[in-house]
Amino acid sequence: MEVESSSSDEPRSIAVEKAIEVDIDPGNLLVSDSNEISRLQLNSNPAEYLKELTRSNTQLLINRIFTLPFHRVDDVIVAELPKPTYVLPRSKPAPKARPLSKWESYAKEKGIVKKKKSRLVWDEMVKKWVPRFGYRRAEAEHAKDWLIEVPQHADPYEDQFEKKSEEKSERVAKNELQRLRNLAKAKKVVVPAAKGLTSKVKQSKEELLTAAHTANKATASLGKFQPKVGKLKPLKGTGKKRQFEPLINNQEKAKNLSVLDKIMNKKPKIDVESVVSKSVGSGNLKRKGQGQDNYGDDEDGGQRRGGRRGKQMGTKNSKIKKGPAKKGSFKKGRASPRSGPKKKKN
Amino acid sequence: MGRKANWSEKPKSGPGRKARKQPAPSFPGMIGSGPGGGGGGISKHRKKKQFGGPGGKKRSSYPQNDGRKLKPGQPYRKSNESKKSSKPIDKKVTRNVRDASDSEEDEEEKQVMGSNSEGDEGMSDNEPTMETGSGSEDGSDDEAMQDDFSGSDGEAPDSGLEDGDQNGDGQKDEDKDDKLTKWHKLANINGSSDDADKIDFPEGQEPTFDVQVVVDRIKDVISTLLDFKTRREEGRSRSEYISLLTSDLCQYYGYNEYLMERIMQVFPLGELQDALDAADAPRPMTIRTNTLKCRRRELAQALIARGVNLDPVGKWSKVGLVVYSSQVPVGATPEYLAGHYMIQGAASFLPVMALGPQENERILDMCAAPGGKSTHIAALMKNTGTLLANEFNKDRAKALIGNFHRMGVKNSVICSYDGRKLPEVMKGFDRVLLDAPCSGSGVISKDSSTKTQRDAIDIQRTNTKQKELIMAAIDCLDATSQTGGYLVYSTCSILPEENEEVVALALRKRNVKLVPTGLDFGTPGFVNFQGKRFHPTMNLTRRFYPHSHNMDGFFVAKFKKFSNSNPVVKVDDEEEEEAEGSGEQE
Amino acid sequence: MRPLTEEETRLFFEKLAKYIGENIKVLIDRPDGPFCFRLHKERVYYVSEEIMKKAGNISRDNLVCLGTCLGKFTKTKKFRLHITALDYMAPYAQAKMWLKPNAEQQFLYGHNVMKSGLGRISENTVKYSGVVVYSMNDIPLGFGTAAKSTTECRHTDPGTIVCFHQADIGEYIRSEDTLT
* Full 3-state SS string of C26-93: HHHCCCCCCEEEEEECCEEEEEEHHHHHHHCCCCCCCEEEECEEEEEECCCCCEEECHHHHHHHHHHC
**Could you tell me which residues come within 8 angstroms of residue B102 by beta carbon, excluding any fewer than 6 positions away?**
B69
C1 contacts A273? CB cut-off 8 A: no
Give domain status of residue C179, yes or no: no
Do residues C153 and C109 both lie within one domain? yes
Average pLDDT, chain B: 74
pLDDT digits (tens, 9 = 90+) for B270-293: 888 889 889 888 889 999 999 999
Q: How many helices (H) and strands (E) does chain A have?
A: 9, 6
ipTM of the complex: 0.95
Backbone angles phi, psi at A156, to 5 degrees: -65, -20
Instruction: Name which of A30-39, A76-85, B236-245, B412-421 the model is least confident about.
Output: B236-245
pLDDT digits (tens, 9 = 90+) for B359-395: 999 999 999 989 999 999 999 999 999 999 999 999 8
Distance from CA of A263 to the nearest CA of C (A): 7
Do residues C67 and C101 both lie within one domain? no
**Could you tell me which residues come within 8 angstroms of residue B434 by beta carbon, excluding any fewer than 6 positions away?**
B366, B367, B419, B469, B470, B473, B487, B488, B489, B490
CA separation (Å) from B397 to B347, C171, C177, C180?
A: 22, 17, 11, 9
Average pLDDT over residues B162-170: 50
For B584, the closest chain A residue by CA position comes to A43
Q: Is A264 on the interface with C (CB under 8 A)?
A: yes
What pLDDT, on a 0 to 100 scale, did the predictor assign at position B208?
64
Provide the domain limits for residue C101. Answer: 93-174
Judge contact between B321 and B310, C-beta under 8 A: yes
- Assess whether pLDDT exceeds 70 at residue A120: yes
Residues in chain A with CB shorter than 8 Å from the CB of B586 are 43
What pLDDT, on a 0 to 100 scale, did the predictor assign at position B113?
41
Distance CA B46, CA B111 (A): 13
pLDDT digits (tens, 9 = 90+) for B487-536: 999 999 999 988 999 999 999 999 999 999 999 888 999 998 888 889 99
What pLDDT, on a 0 to 100 scale, did the predictor assign at position B570?
58
Distance from CA of C164 to the nearest CA of B (A): 20
Do residues C11 and C31 both lie within one domain? yes
Distance from CA of A40 to the nearest CA of B (A): 10
Distance from CA of B585 to the nearest CA of A (A): 9
- Assess whether pLDDT exceeds 50 at residue A336: no
Q: Which fold has domain B346-583?
A: Rossmann fold (3.40.50)
Annotated binding site of B: 367-373, 391, 418, 435
Average pLDDT over residues A5-32: 80
- Please name the chains neighbouring A, where neighbouring means 3+ C-beta pairs under 8 angstroms: B, C
Q: Which residues pair with C96 in a beta bridge?
A: C132
Instruction: Name which of A142-156, A253-267, B130-144, C61-75 the model is least confident about.
Output: B130-144
∠ CA A20-A78-A86, nearest 5°, is 40
Instruction: Name which of A20-29, B22-31, B448-457, C112-121 the model is least confident about.
Output: B22-31
- Assess whether pLDDT exceeds 80 at residue A216: yes
Judge contact between B237 and B229, C-beta under 8 A: no
pLDDT digits (tens, 9 = 90+) for B461-483: 999 999 999 999 999 999 998 88
What pLDDT, on a 0 to 100 scale, did the predictor assign at position A103?
94
For A43, the closest chain B residue by CA position comes to B586
What pLDDT, on a 0 to 100 scale, did the predictor assign at position B93?
39
**Could you tell me which residues come within 8 angstroms of residue B482 by beta carbon, excluding any fewer than 6 positions away?**
none
pLDDT digits (tens, 9 = 90+) for B36-52: 444 444 555 555 555 54
Q: Which of residues 143 through 202 in chain A touch C, CB cutoff 8 A?
A: none
- Assess whether pLDDT exceeds 60 at residue C48: yes
What pLDDT, on a 0 to 100 scale, did the predictor assign at position C35?
93
- What CA dihedral angle connects B407, B409, B413 and B417, to 10 degrees? -30
Which of the pair, B144 or A118, is modelled with greater confidence?
A: A118
A39 contacts B586? CB cut-off 8 A: no
What pLDDT, on a 0 to 100 scale, did the predictor assign at position B28?
62
Supply the CATH classification number for the domain B286-343: 3.30.70.1170
Give domain status of residue C180, yes or no: no
What pLDDT, on a 0 to 100 scale, did the predictor assign at position B101?
44
C9 contacts A256? CB cut-off 8 A: yes
B404 contacts C65? CB cut-off 8 A: yes
Band the pLDDT of A303: cuts 50, 70, 90.
very low
Q: Which of B66-70, B566-570, C164-168 has the highest mean pLDDT?
A: C164-168
Distance CA A28, CA A34 (A): 17
What pLDDT, on a 0 to 100 scale, did the predictor assign at position A206?
86
Q: Is A317 on the interface with C (CB under 8 A)?
A: no
Annotated binding site of B for S-adenosyl-L-methionine: 367-373, 391, 418, 435
Which of the pair, B293 or A295, is modelled with greater confidence?
A: B293
Residues in chain A with CB shorter than 8 Å from the CB of C52 are 247-248
What pLDDT, on a 0 to 100 scale, did the predictor assign at position B204?
55
Instruction: Name which of A204-218, B56-70, C63-77, C79-93 the model is least confident about.
Output: B56-70
DSSP B295-334: -HHHHHHHHHHHTEEEEE--TT-SSEEEEEEESS-GGGSH
pLDDT digits (tens, 9 = 90+) for B310-367: 999 988 999 999 999 999 999 999 999 999 999 999 999 999 999 999 999 999 999 9
Average pLDDT over residues A228-249: 83
CA separation (Å) from C41 to B201, B399, C178?
A: 67, 18, 13
Write b or e for each residue in B6-32: b if 16 or more Cβ atoms lie within 10 A of its Cβ, otherwise e: ebbebeebebbebbeeeeebebeebbe
Positive or negative, the Cα torsion across B31, B34, B36, B38?
Answer: positive
- Assess whether pLDDT exceeds 60 at residue B147: no
Active-site residue numbers of B? 492
Do residues C77 and C114 both lie within one domain? no
For A42, the closest chain B residue by CA position comes to B586
What pLDDT, on a 0 to 100 scale, did the predictor assign at position C59?
93
Instruction: Name which of A82-86, B60-64, B296-300 the model is least confident about.
Output: B60-64
Average pLDDT over residues C26-50: 92
What pLDDT, on a 0 to 100 scale, did the predictor assign at position B223?
86
**Which of C88, C122, C148 finishes a domain?**
C88
A264 contacts C22? CB cut-off 8 A: yes
Which of the pair, B145 or A151, is modelled with greater confidence?
A: A151
User: Which of these, B108, B424, B444, lies nearest to B254 by C-alpha position?
Assistant: B444
Judge contact between A235 and A209, C-beta under 8 A: yes
Report the CATH number that the domain containing residue C153 is assigned in CATH.
2.30.130.10
Q: Which of A116-120, B254-258, B563-567 has the highest mean pLDDT?
A: A116-120
Q: Is A254 on the interface with C (CB under 8 A)?
A: no
In chain A, what are the domain boundaries?
A: 1-90, 101-157
What pLDDT, on a 0 to 100 scale, did the predictor assign at position B131?
38
pLDDT digits (tens, 9 = 90+) for A161-198: 999 999 999 999 999 999 999 999 999 988 877 777 77
pLDDT digits (tens, 9 = 90+) for B181-214: 455 444 444 443 334 456 666 655 566 678 888 8
CA separation (Å) from C170 to B1, C131, C136?
A: 29, 17, 17
> What's the pTM?
0.61
Band the pLDDT of A51: cuts 50, 70, 90.
very high
In chain B, what are the domain boundaries?
A: 37-253, 286-343, 346-583
For chain C, the domain total comes to 2
Average pLDDT over residues B140-145: 42
Band the pLDDT of A242: cuts 50, 70, 90.
confident
Residues in chain C with CB shorter than 8 Å from the CB of A314 are 126-128, 149
Residues in chain B with CB shorter than 8 Å from the CB of A43 are 585-586
**Which of C19, C54, C88 finishes a domain?**
C88
Band the pLDDT of B19: cuts 50, 70, 90.
low
Judge contact between C62 and C97, C-beta under 8 A: no
- Assess whether pLDDT exceeds 50 at residue B110: no
**Which of C88, C114, C138 finishes a domain?**
C88
Do residues C104 and C70 both lie within one domain? no
